[in-house]
Amino acid sequence: MLLPRAWVRSSVFPFHEILRGRPTVSILERLREHDKLPPVALDSLHAERLGEHLKRVARVVPFYARTLAGTTIRSAADLAAFPIIDKRTIREHFAEFRASDWRGRVLTLETGGSSGEPLRFETDPVREASQLACKWRARSWFGLHVGHRELDLWGSPIETGKLSWQRRLSGDLLGNRLLSAFAMSEEKFAVWRDEIDRHGSDFLYGYSSVLARFARYLIAERRSVPTGRLRVAIGTAEMLPPADRAVMVEAFGCPVAAEYGCRDGGLIAHECPSGGLHLMHDAIHVELLDAAGQPVKTGEEGEVCLTNLYSQAFPLIRYRLGDLAVRSPTACPCGLPHPTLARLTGRSTDTLFRDDGARVHGLALIYVLRELPGVDRFRIHQKQLGRVEVSVVPGAAWSEERVGPDLVARVHRVLGAGTRVDVSLVSDLPPLPSGKHRYVICDIGESPEQKSARS
């Protein structure tokens, strides 16, 4: 069932958000007003919001009340007094991050993040609403508005069998179509292409690598989308290499935009039609820090530390994401007031191979492993077809007898029962010299079909 776009925009979406207790519509209106501000005005609004947020957090979040120990927080300038935190800090002091003044609903979420350390954290409807509002604000830069139809090449809920009927129904009512992006094949790509027409999709949204592979298929099969049918293809979760971008523009007949965000942080940046990767300057505060925790100079690479200004229930200040980025020294020609990142590095997810040679997105395995009790961190390494090594940093709940077989069964579900799984317990998973904390590594360069085709 597909409803007219205008109905979705005027009635279904606002009602849906009210039912879920999310002030998305009002936040979105405010964010779109901020887009019209001059950069100086947005900067002062940002500083004011950050200052207010810090003052509240220092007062009501036990972790900060304790670590700041008597330091008075007056404004955004006092940010440096806050400790830099990471996933480990959250795991060790979980309950201490709960804001004592929050009376609203709390949602518990889990993420694999881009670093491969599973993390449980809490969020609230206001933060969730701000994330969705940030997405729609950025999409409006491409002429898209609530009600426009989204074709999602996504995966986790389908793969893990968690897509509830409520989510299916709300997706249908809102005009979203979710297709599983795992276990890609040519038959699937053909179905996706048909779905763009059947669904009347206005834009595509998915893992960058998946969109790129889909695009290459469309070009090879001469089934590219006519120019102008789609408004934009948004690639997320991974880096968007220039070569991938070029095939996507050709195959989808529309601009391509990168989205940068994470479940535990929020939407961080989104590309505009002029190619600037704009920070969501009115919703988050981003610091780029060196190894000593000091801000890097503009143009230098630093680690992204995030403060989400909308977090109510479980506020994280100066949260290290493990991603590296470079701030752009120049303003984007599009005229939006939000500062931009020149570059984002250190995010990648390798593809793995099933026992039958089919490609599987690395996240498919991450999604099913991160839910295991007793698995603090893990790394999956595939050196050859039909075999995979899983290194696990065990937590308190680890049990060789109970969790071990479950882990192997989950890998078999994703990579096929013919895959040999070698599990080893390790005390630590040091970052790799090249790619920081990669959690999926695949040494198989090309698919076996390609190899056999060449030989």
Q: Binding to Zn ion (CB under 5 A): which residues in 335-364?
A: 336
In terms of CB distance, is 261 or 276 closer to Zn ion? 276
* CB of 147 closer than 8 Å to CB of 7: yes
* CB of 84 closer than 8 Å to CB of 318: yes
3-state secondary structure 339-376: CEEEEEECCCCCEEECCCCCEEEHHHHHHHHCCCCCEE
The one-letter code for the residue type at 268 is I
Residue selected from 12, 272, 369, 372 as contacting Zn ion according to rule CB under 5 A? 272
Please, what is the minimum distance in Å from the beta carbon of residue 273 to Zn ion?
Answer: 7
β-partners of residue 301 are 326
Q: Segment contacting Zn ion (CB under 5 A): 130-138, 173-181, 235-243, 327-335?
A: 327-335
Note whether 258 binds Zn ion by CB under 5 A.
no
Note whether 334 binds Zn ion by CB under 5 A.
yes
In terms of CB distance, is 254 or 352 closer to Zn ion? 254
Please, what is the minimum distance in Å from the beta carbon of residue 382 to Zn ion?
Answer: 39
Half-sphere exposure (Cβ direction) of 302: Cα atoms closer than 13 Å:
21
Strand, coil or helix: 53: helix
Q: Using the CB atoms, write b or e for 279-288: b if 16+ within 10 Å.
A: bbbbbbbbbb
Note whether 274 binds Zn ion by CB under 5 A.
yes
Residue selected from 112, 125, 261, 276 as contacting Zn ion according to rule CB under 5 A? 276
In terms of CB distance, is 39 or 157 closer to Zn ion? 39
Distance from C-alpha of 371 to C-alpha of 369, rounded to nearest angstrom: 5
Question: To which residue do tokens 């968690």 refer?
Answer: 162
Note whether 140 binds Zn ion by CB under 5 A.
no
Note whether 125 binds Zn ion by CB under 5 A.
no
* CB of 203 closer than 8 Å to CB of 139: yes
Q: What is the DSSP letter of 9?
A: I
Note whether 257 binds Zn ion by CB under 5 A.
no
Helices (runs of H) and strands (runs of E) counted in the chain: 15, 19
Distance from C-alpha of 206 to C-alpha of 190, rounded to nearest angstrom: 17
Note whether 224 binds Zn ion by CB under 5 A.
no
* CB of 319 closer than 8 Å to CB of 307: yes
Total residues interacting with Zn ion, rule: CB under 5 A: 6
Residue selected from 146, 230, 313, 332 as contacting Zn ion according to rule CB under 5 A? 332
Please, what is the minimum distance in Å from the beta carbon of residue 236 to Zn ion?
Answer: 18
Please, what is the minimum distance in Å from the beta carbon of residue 335 to Zn ion?
Answer: 7
- Taking residues 18 to 57 in sequence order and writing x for each that binds Zn ion by CB under 5 A, - otherwise, the string is ----------------------------------------
Note whether 280 binds Zn ion by CB under 5 A.
no
Which residues contribute to the site for Zn ion (CB under 5 A)?
272, 274, 276, 332, 334, 336
